[in-house]
Amino acid sequence: MFLIGLTGSIGMGKTQTAALFEAEGVPRYDADAAVHALYEKGGAAVAPIGALVPEAIVDGAVDRGILGQAVLKDADKLKQLEQIVHPLAGKSQMAFFAEQEQAKAEMVLLDIPLLFETGGDGFVDTVVVVSAPAELQRQRVLDRPGMTAERLDDILAKQMPDADKRARAEFVVDTSISVEDAHRQVRDILTQLKGREAKALAARIARMQNADK
C-alpha cells in the first residue's frame, strides 16, 4: 500500500485538495477529523486535556477555541497537549491502515497539517504540499469568522514556512488558479505514482531496518 502524505499551511486549500484525491478513489485519513473525534463528548482526549486546561472543557467536550488560546502562546502546555493527542491519534491511524489493507487499497492519503513538523514525512512514501501565494493565503484565512491578523500570525509562527515545505516535497499542488486546475494537478500526480507501490514498500522496510540499528 502506497502512502501519500498531504500537507500544507493554513489557508492553502489542503482540505479541498484532499477531497480531489478522494474523488479519484484514494482513501483518506483525515488527521483533523481524528482529533475532532478525540475532543468530542466521551472522546479519549477529553479527560487528560481537562486535567491540563480545565477551562477548555465545555459540556463534556473540548472547546478547540478555548484550548487554542490557552496553548498557542504557552510552549510548555502545547508540548504537553501534543504528548496527549499524538499517541491517541496514532491509534486511529493504525486502525485506518488495517481497514485499508483489508480492502486491498493500492494507495491511501494521509491528510496531516503538521506532517513535517511532527516528523511524519519520514513515514510516508511521498509528500504532496498544497500551496498558494502568501497574499491569497492571508486573504482566505482572514475571511474566516473570528479570525484576526494576530491569531493568524501566531498560527503561522508554529508552522514550517511554505517555502521550506515546498522544497522538501516531491509534489506541489498550486491552488491559486481554480479547483479544476488543482484537480488536473492531482490526476497528474496519481499518474506519476502508478506502479511505485513495490519500490516504496522496499524503501520503507529499509528505513525501518536502519532505524533499528
User: For 9-42, what is each residue's pLDDT tens digit?
Assistant: 999 999 999 999 999 999 999 998 999 999 999 9
Work out the burial of residue 104: count CB atoms within 10 Å of its CB; fewer than 13 is exposed, 13-18 middle, 19 or more buried: exposed
Domain-by-domain residue ranges, the chain? 1-27+107-213, 34-104
CATH of domain 1-27+107-213: 3.40.50.300
Percent share of the chain, pLDDT over 70: 92
Report pLDDT for 130.
Answer: 98
User: For 56-101, what is each residue's pLDDT tens digit?
Assistant: 999 999 999 899 888 877 889 988 998 999 889 888 888 999 999 9
User: For 94-139, what is each residue's pLDDT tens digit?
Assistant: 899 999 999 999 899 999 998 998 888 988 999 999 999 999 999 9
Q: What predicted TM-score, i.e. pTM, was given to this entire model?
A: 0.81
CA distances from 82 to 22, 94, 114, 118 (A): 28, 18, 11, 10
| 119, amino acid identity | G
Residue partners of 115: CB distance under 8 A and separation at least 6: 5, 6, 7, 121, 124, 127
- Contact present, 204 and 125 (Cβ < 8 Å): yes
pLDDT band at residue 203 using 50, 70 and 90 as cut-offs: low
Report pLDDT for 74.
Answer: 85
pLDDT band at residue 49 using 50, 70 and 90 as cut-offs: very high
